[in-house]
Structure 1
Amino acid sequence: MSTASDAHFWDRTSRKYATAAIADQVGYERTLDRTRAQLGPDDRVLELGCGTGTTALRLAGDVQSYFATDISAGMIAIAEEKRAAAPVPALAFRTMTAEALMPEAGPFNAVLGFNYLHLVRDLPGTLRRIHVLLAPEGLFISKTPCVGDMNPLIHLVLLPAMRAIGKAPYAGVFRVAELSQHICAAGFDILAIENHATKGNDNRPYIVARKR
């Protein structure tokens, strides 16, 4: 498997993904509110792994500029349809990965990655790229599943079986502690680790980190 196969998976499932309901709407709203409080009206924001643009459309009106990217052209096409129906002048979508973004695209005051880090194939490398793209003392805000803290059957049996039949993309396995170590090693100071879930056993920590 490769990033190309990852993009193909998300292209193929983009329409189904777009119609799926948010599992924990209250927790999602808490994440939006917490993120919005970290952003200022003069900020330039980059969102990685934006999917069909739901979060971007909710946050972009509060900042100077909002650049939302995703590996999947199918996802971005749906995001553009949403933007056409409800235009936000500060918002732009692009099919792109963090690794393809040149430093001159920044600096950004904040980089956001929601349900994103477990899907990248080179976690340390991606975090270093995010560090480069941020302005001094810029914020990296993430919320992503830590599969290593879930039932071992998920990553030992279920995920491999689903990937084998094309029903799941690549997913990295790490614990919250390991993710925190990777973020710090990439040149960040962690300011907050929070759980925004309001139901179920949600192993997706909301992390706010500042570039050193």
Structure 2
Amino acid sequence: MSIGSDARFWDRASRNYAKGAVADPTGYERTLTRTRALLGPGDRVLELGCGTGTTALRLAGNVRDYLATDFSAEMIAIAKERHAAEPMPTLTFQVATVETLTSEPTRFNAILGFNYLHLIRDLPGTLRHIHGLLAPEGLFISKTPCVGEMNPLIRLALLPAMRAIGKAPYAGVFRASELGEQISAAGFDSLATENHATKGNDNRPYIVARKR
């Protein structure tokens, strides 16, 4: 398995993914409201792992520039279709990874990664790249599943079996405390760690961190 195979998995899954409903709509709205309050009208924002663009289309109207990226070309194709139906001049969709963006001169006031960090193969490296792309005291805002806190049967048996037959993507295994340590080690100060779930056992902490 590789980053290329990960991208192909999401390419294949893109149309079904686009049809899926948000599992916890109230929790999702809470995340959007909280994030919107952290973004200013003059901000340049980067979203990593934007998928089919649902969150970008909800947030981009409140900022100066919003670049939404994903490594899946099919996900971005769907996002662009949605954008064409709902034009927003501040929003751009692009096939990219954080690594391919490091040479860009733009520095962002905020970088968002929702349901993203657990899908990254090199978490420390990705966090360092995010740090480098942020303007001084810029914010990194994350909400991602902490697989290390899931039921051991799912984490140790079901997920590896599904990955082996191509029915699940790569997923890194870490606990919320470990994720916080990694973010701190990459040069961030944690400002908030919150739980936005309104139903079920949600292991996705919402984290706001500021670049040191």
Where on the TM-score scale, by shorter chain, does this alignment land: which range?
A: over 0.9
Relative to the length of structure 2, the TM-score reads 0.99
Aligned to 1:143: 143
1:39 lines up with 2:34 in the alignment: no
How many matched pairs? Answer: 212
Preserved contact between residue 190 and residue 209 of structure 1 (Cα < 8 Å)? yes
| Match status 1:101 vs 2:101 | yes
State the Cα distance separating 1:106 from its structure 2 match. 2.3
Q: CA RMSD in A?
A: 0.6
Show the counterpart of 2:201: 201
How high is the TM-score relative to the length of structure 1?
Answer: 0.99
The reply on whether 1:169 has 2:169 as its aligned counterpart is yes
Give the letter for the 1:154 counterpart: I
What CA deviation, in whole Å up to 9, does each residue of 1:56-82 have, x standing for no partner? Answer: 000000000000000100000000000
Distance between the aligned counterparts of 1:203 and 1:154, measured in 2?
Answer: 13
5+ long unaligned stretches in structure 2: none
The amino acid that maps onto 1:17 is Y
CA contact under 8 A between 2:102 and 2:132: conserved in structure 1? no
Per-residue CA deviation, residues 65-117 of structure 1 (Å, 9 max, x unaligned), is 00000010000000000000000100000011111112434210000000000
Q: Please name the residue that 1:190 is paired with.
A: 190
Give a deviation string over 1:128-159, Cα, whole Å, max 9, x none: 00000000000000000001011111121011
Percent same amino acid at aligned positions? 76
Paired residues of 1:103 and 1:133 also in contact (CA < 8 A): no
Query: What SS does the corresponding residue of 1:148 show, helix, strand or coil?
Result: helix
- Deviation beyond 4 Å, 4+ runs, structure 1: none
Matches of 1:17 and 1:104 in 2, distance apart? 30
Structure 1: runs of 5 or more not aligned: none
SS in 2 for 1:83: helix
Letter in 2 for 1:139: L
Q: Superposition pairs for residues 34-113 of structure 1, below 5 Å?
A: 34-113=34-113
